[in-house]
A and B are shown apart, each in its own frame.
Chain A
């Protein structure tokens, strides 16, 4: 089955860039997603990338996809304290019915 892995924790200072990494195993993944979850809340879709793209930029967010290495990253520029949350990467399976989530990376932003 598919497997999606992320590092557990990342700490950065306010104003710095954050880079959250994700690896996946399903080479047939077509869409890969980044979700943000604040404490006690649901998941907010931040951005997604189609597998034929290498990069996608959306304001402070940059997604990089290395399909050969099955590596996905999310860069947050000028990280703010409000960015503190858990970030999940996810991939959609072949049939398109299921999202497989990574374990989540807890981002802590220090003032």
Chain B
């Protein structure tokens, strides 16, 4: 199993809503990542979890709140988002957050904030 599974595939939410994006992998990877990708742009790193601990937060606004309940799961909690937060949110995982590894990406959640 070399899959990173993200749910939901599509999400439309209002600016006052609270929602969560979910990511799951069963490859035994110990590093997991959230990326944000706007249309026609490369992905931008948001957060890195290594061994279930947040190791990198790329100055992401607090309306995005990551959570890593266990080594297979990564959530992104969303609250009070803005329309400009509409994007494709990609989850990735790699064996370790180190040079010797490759990252596998999920299919993404396409988020629209209305």
Contacts and interface: CB of A to CB of B under 8 A. Distances in A.
A and B part of one assembly: yes
Interface of A: 30-31, 33, 35, 40-45, 48, 88, 92, 94, 96-99, 101-104
Nearest to A40: B110
Given A31-B99, A43-B90, 19 more contacts: A41-B108, A42-B4, A42-B6, A42-B88, A42-B90, A42-B105, A43-B43, A48-B102, A88-B42, A92-B99, A96-B98, A96-B99, A96-B101, A97-B31, A97-B48, A97-B50, A98-B45, A101-B42, A102-B42
Question: Which range contains the number of B residues in contact with the other chain?
Answer: 20 to 34
Nearest to A106: B40
Given A42-B90, A43-B105, A103 B99 contact: no
Contacts, number: 59
A102 B40 CA distance: 12
B98 to A, nearest CB: 4
B6 to A, nearest CB: 8
Nearest to B107: A42
B71 to A, nearest CB: 17
Contacts of B107: 41-42
Interface of B: 4, 6, 31, 40-43, 45, 48, 50, 55-56, 88, 90, 92, 96-108, 110
Given A31-B99, A31-B102, A97 B42 contact: no
